[in-house]
Amino acid sequence: MNTNSFQLRHIGPNKKEQEQMLATIKADSLEQLISETVPENIRLKKDLDLDPAMSEYEYLSHITALANKNKVFKSYIGLGYHEAIVPSVIQRNILENPGWYTAYTPYQAEIAQGRLEALLNYQTMICDLTGMELANASLLDESTAAAEAMALLFDVRERTKKKAGANRFFVSEEILPQTLALLQTRATPIGIELVVGNHEQFDFADDYFGAILQYPGKLGQIFDYESFVSKANDKAIKVAVAADILSLVKLKAPGEFGASVVVGTTQRFGIPLGYGGPHAAYFATKEAYKRSIPGRIIGVTKDTDGGFALRMALQTREQHIKRERATSNICTAQVLLAVMAGMYAVYHGKEGIQFIADSVHNKTKLVANYLEKAGFKQLNSSYFDTLLVEIDAIRLKPIAESFKVNFNYVTDCLVSISINEATTQKDLMQLFTIFGQLKPRPNPLNEDFSGSFSQILTQEPFHSNFEVISKNVARNTSFLENEIFNTYQSETDMMRYIKKLERKDLALNHSMISLGSCTMKLNAASEMLPLSNPQWGNIHPFVPLNQAQGYQEVLQKLEHQLNIITGFAGTSLQPNSGAQGEFAGLMTIRAYHQSRNESHRNICIIPASAHGTNPASAVMAGMQVVVTKTAENGNIDVADLREKVELHSVNLAALMVTYPSTHGVFESEIQEITKIIHDHGGQVYMDGANMNAQVGLTNPATIGADVCHLNLHKTFAIPHGGGGPGVGPICVAPQLVPFLPTNPLVKTGGKQAISAISAAPWGSALACLISYGYITMLGFRGLTNATKMAILNANYIKERLNGHYDTLYTGEKGRAAHEMIIDCRSFKERGIEVVDIAKRLMDYGFHAPTVSFPVNGTMMIEPTESESIAELDRFCDAMISIRKEIVEATKDDTNNVLKNAPHTLAMLTTDEWDLPYTRAQAAFPLDFVSDNKFWPTVRRVDDTYGDRNLICSCKPIEDYM
């Protein structure tokens, strides 16, 4: 065995096991299997033009050398991003722990209670600080959260406003520039008119439905918005507030002065800057809008025994139900980052968070005091952490950069300075020295300052003799009073609490998670290690490019790698999720048609089997959805497609297609399908959810697509993190390159770029290191072999389950792609639903495959290339054992092992056992289970009860029941 080969570590089955598997599926060779699976007319004729693979050792040396090309300055730029201190106990036990970062979205609540509790803590923290009734379990970034707020307020307009066609949305000129760009991107396609102006001069006209304010303003000034919000509410104009989360410790909660929605980022609660992400945005609103809130909400319910349990509430994957009627396409949250931010509050507690906020504020006052005494004019009359200074910015910038310091250079004579948690006494002294270069007096070491420095150094609160936050805007309500935020302040207790929650969650470090369309492959340690390096973590997204040379090399190389893999000409890494990638791809198509004076093209054709985010994204991009039929074999009905294309030829904008299909099949007619679209002037968008079956064998360009998004959190090894981070870059054909998205502060994209898709220029740049490592260590040959093995593993499971479960769809030669759908609908005759199989799998130590998507009553199984034959066999043995249990079930007797699943340790250890099967059958149905038993911590959860009794934050235990 070549111990330098990352490919051999990443791919599960070895050569001998591959031969055994090929024999099982009756194929003479791996190449024969691939030729029977992937149509010959779309096969690539040569290897991917990528570099040979690096070993893990070589790669770690390489990525460290690139990290050292980044210049880590002290950045006081602000604008929604601040250096934060990641508590070591959280870094070691969550960020670097596969028990947390390899978990899947908690759709199977019984084996996700730990993550759900951590997210409930997060929601509680957000509700407490914002003063709102309801918060979701995170969004992608502050700017997209603001855009979601605008969309929600548009959706919940009062009847009179809707009837009058009120479509204007007021945006304060104090809004962050990247947020304004996102609002512009999202507003135009859905018919919202943005009006940017001074909130103090707003006229509250009847044709406005909403407004958004920045709190504090983008350059630090704190405004008293109470009168504005009161007048707006009187006129049925609902107000969103984008608020700095740490400032809310000191400032009146927006909920207290009548806000309808509050959004922001939790990045400064212990999350690395990471050149822009990933970070968890927050979204809080009123309970009245619970049916319109985007994303996911964690709620309290009870299990079969009436015990306390948590689950995702309100069916918040609304786009899969409402489809083109959905108001949001949000599919990925930022769970791992939300967990970290919530744990930051748990660890520091109320008093700790108060201390941090006071410390940041007092250091800011100290700097203001110094600047005033030095003769500089500081313009903010009220502020939390940001000062606005009149100064010769052209002279200041080279001096500051010589000290490795960044400020926000607003104009040639205005500079803003944002102080953060990581600003030390030494940093303050450096600031005084820098400003002293422009005005050398007074000496900052004189008596006026020495005592204050001493207090900061000993971490005692610095009490200045002046206040800059008036009583009208100062916080006067409590927060973080719950016991959870006042218990775990020692590291020992915190470490044990994190471990306690981790033990309740099934992740990839325990067993295979075989989710169809949600590729759960190995997230290798060598891919993850660089994320802990401050040379990558402490870079502000708006630093000059020459300070981020390491990042620029990685991101440009990754874009090139993805271009080669997809066969396309250009890539944007900006989208922060797959659904955001869909929207970005459709917006480039929209811009392309507009550039050709064909703005009328607004029809988007989508197969009935498509992901629910597809129609939601199309509507968000201003398109009208036309659905095509599915043929009996599960493929797109080409005759129906052709008929609808011809009907809408003049207005055809795009086709959205998933390839291989959502049914796990390489459709041989794909090139005919894409040609039909092109012949009628449309563009083809390919959903990259199933790219794990394409890499190195075919590509989107070859099948005739014009744009695709890629799920880096699927095919390219970024871990799912319990439901995020996700990254969804788009790759485009030459004609769409000019329209790739830009950023208002750092230029990206094409010459005719659409406005921003996410807040940071390169989206979640830190997470992109993982995919860069994955591609670089596999090389062209390893990437192709990984795809082949994903297809082999899927067909091995298909063959092993043959005779026990029917595979719903296969290719023309009877093969599955990288996933397959098994039909469980006939089991209803015995009273068994597909959900019963999902819950019973927990007793065997497995997370269920994808349930009832894309076909109700089925399971979609995707093993990935990372799983060994031993793990595949364990899973197949479990499924075959469950099939035998189904045979023993009857419709009239629901007291069986499937209906009662999952079985908890509490059940097994009670004195009484009155079930018609043994404890051993319940908990240890096969021998391998007892060797590594995973115990679900609650019995089957009651979804209906949780929705009828919505509780989405921490309350005393007696309040739940």
Following DSSP, what letter does each residue of 874-943 receive, concatenated? HHHHHHHHHHHHHHH--SS---STTTT-S--HHHHTSS---SSS-HHHHH-SSHHHHHT----SS--B-H
330-339 tens-digit pLDDT: 878 999 999 9
pLDDT at 166: 95
pLDDT at residue 479 above 70? yes
| pLDDT confidence band for 450 (50 / 70 / 90) | very low
Query: Mean pLDDT across the stretch 78-106?
Result: 98
pLDDT at 662: 86
Name the token pair of 606.
């989508």
CA distances to 497, 580, 583, 737 from 727, in Å: 30, 9, 13, 19
pLDDT at residue 453 above 80? no
279-323 tens-digit pLDDT: 999 999 999 999 889 989 999 999 999 999 999 987 544 545 566
Name the token pair of 392.
């010769």
**444 compared with 595, residue with greater pLDDT:** 595
Alpha helices (runs of H) in 25-165, residue ranges in sequence order: 30-37, 56-67, 88-90, 98-101, 113-130, 142-155, 159-164
pLDDT at 908: 94
| pLDDT confidence band for 960 (50 / 70 / 90) | very low
DSSP one-letter string for 320-362: HHHGGG-S-------HHHHHHHHHHHHHHHHHHHHHHHHHHHH
List beta partners, residue 169.
Answer: 194, 210
Name the token pair of 534.
């401050």
pLDDT at residue 423 above 50? yes
> Which segment of 48-62, 429-443, 514-528, 889-903 scores lowest on mean pLDDT?
429-443
CA distances to 364, 385, 433, 658 from 413, in Å: 20, 20, 19, 52
Give the amino acid at 68: N
Nearest to 241 by CA among 166, 156, 149: 149
pLDDT at residue 832 above 80? yes
Sign of the dihedral through C-alpha 283, 284, 286, 290: positive
pLDDT at 196: 98
CB contact set of 525 (below 8 Å; sequence gap of 6+): none
List beta partners, residue 139.
Answer: 281
Query: Mean pLDDT across the stretch 87-104?
Result: 98
Q: Are 237 and 204 in contact (CB under 8 A)?
A: yes
Give the chain's mean pLDDT: 94
pLDDT at residue 443 above 70? no
CA distances to 667, 693, 880 from 672, in Å: 10, 20, 40
Distance between CA atoms of residues 292 and 294, nearest Å: 6
pLDDT at 457: 38
Omega cis (within 30) before 854: yes
Residue 198: CB atoms within 10 Å: 9
Q: Are 567 and 707 in contact (CB under 8 A)?
A: no
Distance between CA atoms of residues 854 and 929, nearest Å: 30
pLDDT at 776: 98
Give the relative orientation of helices 425-438 and 447-457 as an angle to the nearest 10 degrees: 150
pLDDT at 447: 45
Distance between CA atoms of residues 198 and 335, nearest Å: 36
pLDDT at residue 915 above 90? yes
The residue ranges of DSSP E strands in 347-407, in sequence order, are 377-378, 386-390, 405-406
634-689 tens-digit pLDDT: 889 999 999 999 999 999 999 999 999 988 899 999 999 999 999 999 999 999 99
Please give the share of the chain, as a percent, with pLDDT higher than 90.
Answer: 88
Please give the share of the chain, as a percent, with pLDDT higher than 70.
Answer: 95
pLDDT at 517: 85
Nearest to 759 by CA among 317, 148, 171: 148
**947 compared with 40, residue with greater pLDDT:** 40
pLDDT at 324: 64
Q: Are strands 377-378 and 386-390 parallel, antiparallel or unpaired?
A: antiparallel
Name the token pair of 804.
């026990």
Name the token pair of 249.
């410790």
156-166 tens-digit pLDDT: 999 999 999 99
Give the amino acid at 197: G
3-state secondary structure of 32: helix
How many residues belong to the chain? 961
pLDDT at residue 761 above 90? yes
pLDDT at 463: 46
pLDDT at 590: 98
CB contact set of 84 (below 8 Å; sequence gap of 6+): 267, 268, 269, 270, 271, 272, 273, 420, 421, 422
pLDDT at 668: 92
pLDDT at 138: 95
343-371 tens-digit pLDDT: 999 999 999 999 999 999 999 999 999 89
Nearest to 500 by CA among 32, 908, 100: 100
623-635 tens-digit pLDDT: 999 999 988 888 8
Distance between CA atoms of residues 737 and 282, nearest Å: 32
pLDDT at residue 462 above 70? no
Starting at the earlier edge strand, list the strands of the sheet with 683-687. 570-572, 730-732, 707-709, 683-687, 652-658, 603-607, 624-628
Q: Are 44 and 699 in contact (CB under 8 A)?
A: yes
Q: Is 795 exposed, middle or buried (0-12, 13-18, 19+ CB in 10 A)?
A: buried
CB contact set of 86 (below 8 Å; sequence gap of 6+): 95, 270, 271, 272, 340, 537
Distance between CA atoms of residues 891 and 880, nearest Å: 20
CA distances to 333, 516, 520, 732, 771 from 726, in Å: 8, 17, 13, 20, 11
Q: What is the 8-class DSSP label of residue 776?
A: H
> Which segment of 231-240, 579-588, 608-617, 693-702 scores lowest on mean pLDDT?
608-617
719-755 tens-digit pLDDT: 999 999 999 999 999 999 999 999 999 999 999 999 9
Give the amino acid at 786: A
Q: Are 174 and 223 in contact (CB under 8 A)?
A: yes
Distance between CA atoms of residues 720 and 98, nearest Å: 10
CB contact set of 381 (below 8 Å; sequence gap of 6+): 221, 468
Query: Mean pLDDT across the stretch 566-587?
Result: 97
Query: Mean pLDDT across the stretch 772-790?
Result: 98
The residue ranges of DSSP E strands in 190-306, in sequence order, are 193-197, 208-215, 238-243, 261-265, 281-285, 297-302
pLDDT at 459: 41
